[in-house]
């Protein structure tokens, strides 16, 4: 079997990890890297800004016009013609119009899309993506609530495919005395893009907890912020090995979800326990279907419960470590691997071809 992956080819990105997973399942894989043809450069940002000024605000939502996107789509079609794949796996195909998907299918390949974000948020999608939805053979989404959205927009098939983990990238690591300072009693790694997230962490700060926060946009906090005043904000993200060190050096890692969308789990739902950290996650049925409460992770449904559990587990080291170890075993099990997810994708391919 042959698969062509089309999408952004970044180090340790989803496209690369899915390629390795497919190859582990004895599938031949070729790639078309969108970054060879367009990037979110200054000129492309300027073009999008111009379009948003030209077109009324609501109508401009989701407009993504990047120099080079046309060439990327042409190369995808050319590569399908030459490589003759059985399946084209589009990774977050924001800039793939219906014509490209139709051309792929006319040449005999199936077309699948994989979307890691909220596909119905027009700020992370595009009009051409919405128009192309009916032409794909199947859409895979990490957001369970998007399945019905896809079907309502004419999708032939839509499947919920949770986030995955690569245990070679996210794992417990030893930290030096100096690196131990990266951690804290409580740590959160993520972007500050909504008030609910910063408000919760500010409230924990005012409770007097020892906290560190990594990620982008935390410099937007008020100068009066408790997190700022107490030096909790690190003003930088933490990725891969750095992320693993932060997790390994911390006692409790928070799993916070977005509120602007009905997020039920996110990549950090698996990354935190994969690193061997004790995870205290917002309570959702979906997250609790992955990890057993009180045995493999802990969950909270209110600020009061969050504070209560933080105090309890900071005072009970052995119990906290036992849960963290069990969570690590669960997160790194085969069921959450990219290979397992790739196997599910191939199963849908086989069902369609029967």
> For residue 124, is pLDDT > 90?
no
What is residue 39's predicted lDDT score, i.e. its pLDDT? 64
Q: Would residue 173 count as lying in a domain? A: no
Whether residue 8 is found in the same domain as residue 52: yes
Phi, psi of 30 (to 5 degrees): -120, 165
What is residue 149's predicted lDDT score, i.e. its pLDDT? 97
What is residue 126's predicted lDDT score, i.e. its pLDDT? 85
Whether residue 145 is found in the same domain as residue 242: no
Phi, psi of 94 (to 5 degrees): -60, -40
What is residue 43's predicted lDDT score, i.e. its pLDDT? 58
What is residue 239's predicted lDDT score, i.e. its pLDDT? 94
Whether residue 250 is found in the same domain as residue 129: no
Residue in the structure block whose two tokens are 């009180």: 294
SS (HEC) of the chain: CEEEEEECCCCCCHHHHHHHHHHHCCCEEEEEEHHHCCCCCHHHHHHHHHHHHHCCHHHHCCCCCCCCHHHHHHHHHHHHHHHCCCEEEEECCCCCCHHHHHHHHHCCCEEEEEECCCCCCHHHCCHHHHHHHHHCCEEEECCCCHHHHHHHCCCCCEEECCCCECCCCCCCCCCCCCHHHHCCCEEEECCCCCHHHHHHHHHHHHCCCCEEEECCCHHHCCCCCHHHHCCCECCCCCCHHHHHHHHHCCCEEEECCCCCCCCCCCCHHHHHHHCCCCEEEECCHHHHHHCCECCCEEEECCHHHHHHHHHHHHHCHHHHHHHHHHHHHHHCCHHHEHHHHHHHHHHHHHHHHC
What percent of the chain has pLDDT above 70?
92
Q: What is the mean pLDDT of residues 281-292?
A: 98
Whether residue 210 is found in the same domain as residue 124: no
Q: Residue 296 is part of a domain; what is its CATH number? A: 3.40.50.2000
Whether residue 152 is found in the same domain as residue 204: no
Q: What is the mean pLDDT of residues 157-180?
A: 97
What is residue 57's predicted lDDT score, i.e. its pLDDT? 43
Whether residue 137 is found in the same domain as residue 8: yes
If pLDDT is split at 50, 70 and 90, which confidence band does 194 have?
A: confident
If pLDDT is split at 50, 70 and 90, which confidence band does 127 have?
A: confident
Q: Would residue 169 count as lying in a domain? A: no
Q: Would residue 170 count as lying in a domain? A: no
Which sign does the torsion angle of CA 148, 150, 156, 157 carry? negative
> For residue 231, is pLDDT > 50?
yes
> Total domain count for the chain?
2
Whether residue 299 is found in the same domain as residue 345: no
Q: Would residue 146 count as lying in a domain? A: yes
Whether residue 76 is found in the same domain as residue 35: yes
Q: Would residue 76 count as lying in a domain? A: yes
What is residue 69's predicted lDDT score, i.e. its pLDDT? 82
Answer whether 188's CB lies under 8 Å from 256's CB.
yes
Average pLDDT of the chain to the nearest whole number? 93
Answer whether 3's CB lies under 8 Å from 110's CB.
no
Whether residue 183 is found in the same domain as residue 323: yes
Mean pLDDT check: name the lowest of 65-69, 72-76, 173-177, 323-327: 65-69
Q: Would residue 91 count as lying in a domain? A: yes
pLDDT higher for 326 or 122? 326
Phi, psi of 228 (to 5 degrees): -70, -50
Task: List the structure tokens of 148.
Answer: 């019905």
Which sign does the torsion angle of CA 69, 70, 71, 76 carry? positive
pLDDT tens digits for range 56-101: 544 444 445 566 788 999 999 999 999 999 999 999 999 899 999 9
Whether residue 312 is found in the same domain as residue 347: no
Q: Would residue 174 count as lying in a domain? A: no
Q: pTM score > 0.95 for this model?
A: no
Question: Which residues have C-beta within 8 Å of that of residue 259, sequence separation ≥ 6?
Answer: 194, 196, 197
- Quote the domain boundaries for residue 146: 2-164+337-353
Give dist(CA 259, CA 255) in Å, integer.
Answer: 13
> For residue 48, is pLDDT > 70?
no
CB half-sphere exposure, 118, CA atoms < 13 A: 15
Whether residue 197 is found in the same domain as residue 185: yes
Whether residue 140 is found in the same domain as residue 195: no
Q: Would residue 17 count as lying in a domain? A: yes
């Amino acid at each position: 079997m042959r698969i062509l992956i089309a999408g952004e080819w970044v180090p340790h990105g989803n496209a690369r990890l899915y390629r390795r997973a497919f190859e582990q399942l004895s599938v031949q894989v070729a790639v078309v890297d969108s970054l060879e043809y367009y990037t979110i450069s200054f000129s492309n940002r300027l073009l999008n800004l111009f379009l948003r000024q030209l077109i009324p605000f609501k109508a401009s939502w989701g407009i993504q016009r990047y120099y080079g996107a046309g060439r990327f789509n042409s190369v995808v079609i050319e590569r399908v013609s030459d490589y003759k794949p059985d399946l084209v796996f589009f990774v977050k195909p924001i800039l793939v119009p219906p014509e490209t998907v139709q051309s792929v299918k006319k040449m005999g390949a199936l077309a699948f899309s994989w979307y890691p974000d909220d596909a119905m948020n027009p700020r992370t999608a595009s009009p051409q993506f919405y128009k192309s939805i009916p032409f794909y053979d199947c859409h895979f989404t990490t957001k369970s609530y998007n399945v019905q959205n896809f079907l309502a927009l004419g999708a032939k098939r839509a499947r919920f495919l949770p986030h995955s983990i690569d245990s070679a990238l996210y794992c417990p690591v030893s930290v030096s005395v100096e690196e131990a300072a990266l951690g804290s009693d409580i740590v959160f790694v993520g972007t500050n893009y909504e008030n609910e997230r910063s408000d919760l962490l500010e409230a924990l700060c005012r409770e007097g907890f020892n906290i560190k926060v990594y990620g982008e946009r935390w410099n937007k906090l008020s100068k009066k912020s408790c997190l700022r005043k107490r030096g909790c904000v690190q003003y930088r993200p933490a990725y891969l090995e750095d992320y693993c060190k932060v997790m390994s050096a911390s006692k409790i890692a928070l799993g916070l979800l977005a509120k602007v969308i009905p997020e039920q789990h996110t990549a950090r739902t698996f990354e935190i326990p994969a690193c061997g950290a004790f995870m205290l996650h917002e309570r959702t049925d979906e997250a609790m279907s992955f990890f057993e409460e009180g045995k493999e992770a802990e969950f909270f449904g209110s600020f009061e419960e969050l504070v209560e559990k933080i105090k309890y587990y900071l005072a009970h080291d052995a119990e906290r470590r036992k849960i963290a170890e069990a969570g690590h075993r669960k997160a790194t099990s085969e069921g959450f691997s990219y290979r397992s997810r790739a196997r599910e994708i191939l199963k849908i391919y086989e069902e369609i071809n029967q």
